[in-house]
């Protein structure tokens, strides 16, 4: 009996050391104030987005929660206001699975809000069927919706420079592949959903890379981030058996949303990282990506193809 207890204690100790040294991640230690600044966080009613918005509010920013679900977003607004003591937290409707909704959000925002200093492209999904525009949901939400949103808000960001754009990517980009002959495959099987997710995250990184080139000299900087492996609702459309399969690993080894938000927060507020515009960050430091994620020719072509897909460029 004693040997079992000792073995269990050793396993717990190993787990604790492993989690806090390798899995939990590094917190953002910047105390930068955001008073007088306006921040948009997409998908801010839950998970990483909500924790990011809460931190922005605690720093004094006016925070726009850009979310699809009104009821959940308004509950998040109430909670963030209560915890931060900042009443400058509001909800605006945004459904990234609808390009029409993205345009409507941008129009409403630009008419009602005179400033924008930080855009955090946080919202994301790991599975789903099709958007109203006919794209697979993962590509539509994770890449195309944010691609269009960023374009529509760029002038306001330039007017309020220095300003920043932070896009939540993932280390899953490693398994992504850009196939321009089939950029919008269906996501019916679990394996195809994982491929689509990896591709969308590679798109995020390539988009930010090309965006930095376009923004050179404007004092608007942009960054892609890997938040770590986080327990969020990104894979909420998974089937029940898939969730049950993942649950033990999620419970034991995934970061909390608070820990996962640290990279978005870091790239939104940390001073001195402007020279790394267009780069990929993880654990509060810049990290070199694999060659296929820094291919400038692919990044440029993806930009042009994405412009056509969202209606910014004619065929």
List C-alpha distances in Å: 77 to 57, 63, 81, 86: 10, 9, 6, 10
User: Where would I find the beta strands (DSSP E) of 68-203?
Assistant: 89-93, 118-121, 163-168
Active-site residue flag, 197: yes
Query: How many angstroms separate the CA atoms of 226 and 63, rounded?
Result: 22
For residue 176, what are its two tokens?
A: 């992504």
Which of 4, 20, 173, 197 is labelled catalytic? Answer: 197
Could you give the strand order of the β-sheet that contains 38-42, starting from the edge strand earlier in sequence? Answer: 89-93, 62-67, 38-42, 118-121, 163-168, 220-226, 280-282, 285-287
Spatial CA neighbour of 239 closest among 193, 184, 175: 193
Name the burial class of residue 162, with classes exposed (0-12), middle (13-18) and buried (19+) by CB atoms within 10 angstroms of its CB: exposed
Query: How many angstroms separate the CA atoms of 273 and 90, rounded?
Result: 29
Spatial CA neighbour of 173 closest among 282, 98, 297: 282
Strand, coil or helix: 243:
helix
Task: Report, as residue numbers or ranges, the catalytic residues.
Answer: 197
């Amino acid at each position: 009996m004693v040997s079992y207890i000792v073995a269990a204690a050793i396993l717990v100790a190993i787990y604790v050391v492993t989690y806090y040294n390798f899995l939990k991640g590094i917190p953002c230690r910047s105390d930068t104030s955001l008073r007088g600044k306006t921040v948009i966080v997409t998908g801010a009613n839950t998970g990483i987005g909500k924790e990011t918005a809460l931190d922005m509010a605690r720093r004094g920013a006016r925070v726009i929660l850009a979310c699809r679900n009104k009821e959940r977003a308004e509950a998040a607004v109430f909670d963030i206001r209560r915890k931060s003591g900042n009443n400058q937290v509001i909800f605006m409707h945004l459904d990234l699975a609808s390009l029409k909704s993205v345009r409507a959000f941008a129009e409403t925002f630009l008419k009602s809000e005179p400033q924008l200093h930080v855009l955090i492209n946080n919202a994301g999904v790991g599975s789903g069927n099709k958007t109203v525009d006919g794209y697979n949901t993962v590509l539509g939400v994770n890449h195309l919706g944010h691609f269009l949103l960023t374009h529509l808000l760029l002038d306001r960001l330039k007017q309020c420079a220095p300003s920043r754009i932070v896009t939540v990517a993932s280390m899953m980009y490693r398994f992504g592949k850009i196939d321009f002959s089939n950029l919008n495959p269906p996501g019916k099987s679990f394996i195809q959903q994982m491929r689509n997710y990896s591709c969308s995250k590679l798109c995020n990184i390539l988009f930010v890379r090309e965006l930095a080139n376009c923004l050179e000299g404007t004092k608007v900087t942009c960054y892609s981030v890997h938040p770590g492996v986080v327990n969020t609702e990104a894979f909420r459309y998974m089937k029940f058996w898939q969730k049950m399969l993942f649950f033990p690993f999620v419970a034991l080894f995934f970061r909390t949303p608070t820990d996962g938000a640290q990279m978005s927060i870091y790239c939104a507020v940390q001073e001195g990282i402007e020279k790394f515009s267009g780069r990929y960050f993880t654990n509060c430091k810049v990290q070199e990506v694999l060659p296929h994620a820094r291919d400038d020719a692919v990044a440029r072509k993806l930009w042009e193809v994405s412009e056509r897909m969202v209606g910014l460029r004619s065929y």
